Amino acid sequence: ATSRNIEGAGSAKQQLSRLVKESLDSLFPDEVQPIVAACQAKFGDYQCNNAMVIWSQLKGKTTQFKNPSSIGQAIAKNLPESEMIESSSVAGPGFVNIKFSNKWISKHIQNMLVNGIEQWAPILSVRKAVVDFSSPNIAKEMHVGHLRSTIMGDTLARMLEFSNVEVLRRNHVGDWGTQFGMLIEYLFEQFPNWEDAGDQAIGDLQAFYKASKKKFDDDPDFKTRAQQAVVKLQSGEDKYRHAWQNICEISRKEFDLVYQRLKVQLEEKGESFYNPYIRGILEEFERNNLIKESEGARVVEIDGYDIPLIVVKKDGGYNYASTDLACLWYRLTEEKAEWIIYITDVGQQQHFDMFFSAARLIGWLPASKDAYPKASHVGLGLVLGSDGKRFRTRSSEVVRLVELLDEAKNRSKAELIKRLEDNGKITDWTDAELESTAEAVGYGAIKYADLKNNRLTNYTFSFDQMLNDKGNTAVYLLYAHARICSIINKSSKDIEEFKKASTCMSWKINTGIGKIVLDHVDERALGLHLIQFAEIVEEACSNLLPNVLCEYLYNLSEMFTRFYTSCQVIGSEQQESRLLLCEATAIVMRKCFLLLGITPVYRI
């Protein structure tokens, strides 16, 4: 854990909650959890909303308080002495409005500038989590739904990692199942020399899949051989294993092209990995009398569903659900994860609901859905094309995600070159710089366009919108960050030194040359917003909603603009303080980008 040399640990909200808790503890014998939230500026900075709830419990049983307002008064009066709180007041039926002191806000920001943004990592109640994301299927297309899962999963993993949670990033690829019989048999038939040809034999794996599926459907002899091939593969026969590995390897290379471009780290543990555990866990279900026979299949009945969860198919084979049960068991017992997060399209919600329920029945997961260890399904809406239908690139049947990513990059490169030519700066840029900026902007645009929406809503994929340099887009935000860098630069700082960020100006604070003063309303508003970073990350993690962080980032850039419009920085009397605010803003923006998987840009 990181050390914190400020009075309290955790977000501003957590620190304030502790003060409120002290007050509540001094007033009420029964434990009361503080209810604290940021509030509208006209009331204060934060509000404590406990009074009404407490009143509803004490009404008629107390003479100490005569109404909710008097409870609010008492909470306010008993708040411990602290540098954090400047004033408190009670409004309406006991709302305690709290205003932070400017001095504390400044100190909180200076602490971050000196000791790094890690100081602002939220404190979460889990230590180890699995994030199961991306998870495409071998030999089938990796489609935009998988892209959305890849982007979302990477962000959630990054936010949890920043919050000091150990994260196992898992790619649960579909690498097992009856389709491999047909693929292997087709490989043997079409490419007798496949072992010498390696990956070259198959070429386009998706076309290969289609062709073998057609043969499977049309040719009964082939179908029989394919079914036998599954048995041979599952019993571990060398030649079949080898062919299977070969096919998986081709898909893997294709998937990796996407992960490399997006700089996404993932560890593959596919469905096949959990296959050996299925028999054992199903025996446990049998012993607990949780499995029944239904139309030839073995099933677990789940309350609230008309259909049962099939765990052994009629033909005796295991399926998606039995694999996921074994996998969940493995993650809980072998890997000791406290929180297991699955990211897929929302269409799979019922599958997750059902096998989570099965795990509750057998006692792997606690009865309460909020208790740990916990399993969460993060459902995603669809990605739509401009025609309002499921998104497809071009008219071709397969979506080549790599081509999609390349197009974003090429478009952003063309825009960048045009912009630089227009303002006569193109000669200052090396090719390598153009490339890396175009990548950051292009891939960043795709990620941000996806993440800024509530994950459950469908969103329309549009290059024109996401690459617009105005509005709530990555392009706008990346450029806003670059402009702040250039402001700081103009104050004669070397950009390389600035990139080292968190310590760049800290010597000024440490030596007392620099100190943040929040006199102007727009300075204070910006300062308050900055210190709310930790609780926003906390909220985004707890509710698995990265769009909350996007909204925070966009608001931050707007507040910065307001500050910069009304407060002169360079050449003003407050130059040092204001430059520190610029730097703090740039650092927080940069951290937001990194958490969203977006590479920051330093100049435009």
Measured from the CB atom, the residue of 324 and 523 that comes closer to ligand ARG is 324
| Residue 135 binds to ligand ARG (criterion: CB under 6 A) | yes
- Nearest approach, Cβ of residue 329 and ligand ARG (Å): 12
Number of residues that bind ligand ARG (CB under 6 A): 10
Could you tell me the sign of the dihedral formed by the alpha carbons of 386, 392, 394, 397, in that order? negative
Give the helix ranges, DSSP H, for 85-167.
102-115, 144-162
Segment contacting ligand ARG by CB under 6 A, of 82-90, 132-140, 488-496, 566-574: 132-140
Q: Which two tokens stand for residue 186?
A: 């087709």
- Nearest approach, Cβ of residue 335 and ligand ARG (Å): 14
- CA–CA dist 204, 406 (Å, integer): 19
- Nearest approach, Cβ of residue 232 and ligand ARG (Å): 24
**Contact code string over 314-333 relative to ligand ARG, x by CB under 6 A:** ----------x--x------
- Nearest approach, Cβ of residue 456 and ligand ARG (Å): 17
DSSP state of 65: -
CB 128 within 8 A of CB 598: no
- Nearest approach, Cβ of residue 171 and ligand ARG (Å): 9
Rule CB under 6 A: choose which of 13, 107, 108, 172 binds ligand ARG: 172
- Nearest approach, Cβ of residue 549 and ligand ARG (Å): 24
Measured from the CB atom, the residue of 69 and 344 that comes closer to ligand ARG is 344
- Residue 545, number of CB atoms within 10 A of its CB: 19
Give the helix ranges, DSSP H, for 271-364.
271-287, 320-329, 349-361
- CA–CA dist 454, 94 (Å, integer): 33
Measured from the CB atom, the residue of 223 and 351 that comes closer to ligand ARG is 351
| Residue 342 binds to ligand ARG (criterion: CB under 6 A) | yes
Segment contacting ligand ARG by CB under 6 A, of 135-143, 410-418, 429-437, 478-486: 135-143
Rule CB under 6 A: choose which of 23, 150, 344, 472 binds ligand ARG: 344
Complete DSSP assignment for 447-496? HHHHHTS-TTS-EE--HHHHT-SSSSSHHHHHHHHHHHHHHHHHTT--HH
Segment contacting ligand ARG by CB under 6 A, of 101-109, 131-139, 151-159, 232-240: 131-139
**Contact code string over 174-203 relative to ligand ARG, x by CB under 6 A:** x-----------------------------
Segment contacting ligand ARG by CB under 6 A, of 53-61, 130-138, 375-383, 553-561: 130-138
Cis peptide before 373 (omega within 30 of 0): yes
- CA–CA dist 543, 131 (Å, integer): 14
Could you tell me the sign of the dihedral formed by the alpha carbons of 392, 395, 398, 404, in that order? negative
- CA nearest neighbour of 514 among 437, 588, 592, 581: 581
Measured from the CB atom, the residue of 133 and 459 that comes closer to ligand ARG is 133
Segment contacting ligand ARG by CB under 6 A, of 133-141, 175-183, 272-280, 471-479: 133-141
Segment contacting ligand ARG by CB under 6 A, of 39-47, 79-87, 116-124, 128-136: 128-136
Which residues are CB-contacts of 466 (< 8 A; sequence separation ≥ 6)? 408, 445, 446, 448, 449, 473, 474, 475
How far from the centroid of its chain's Cα atoms is residue 495's Cα?
30
CB 37 within 8 A of CB 20: no
CB 137 within 8 A of CB 245: no
Measured from the CB atom, the residue of 339 and 593 that comes closer to ligand ARG is 339
Measured from the CB atom, the residue of 324 and 439 that comes closer to ligand ARG is 324
| Residue 136 binds to ligand ARG (criterion: CB under 6 A) | yes
| Residue 538 binds to ligand ARG (criterion: CB under 6 A) | no
Q: Give the residue closest to ligand ARG by C-beta.
A: 135
CB 555 within 8 A of CB 143: no
- CA–CA dist 5, 17 (Å, integer): 19
- Nearest approach, Cβ of residue 223 and ligand ARG (Å): 24
Measured from the CB atom, the residue of 10 and 136 that comes closer to ligand ARG is 136
Contact residues: ligand ARG, CB under 6 A: 132, 135-137, 172, 174, 324, 327, 342, 344
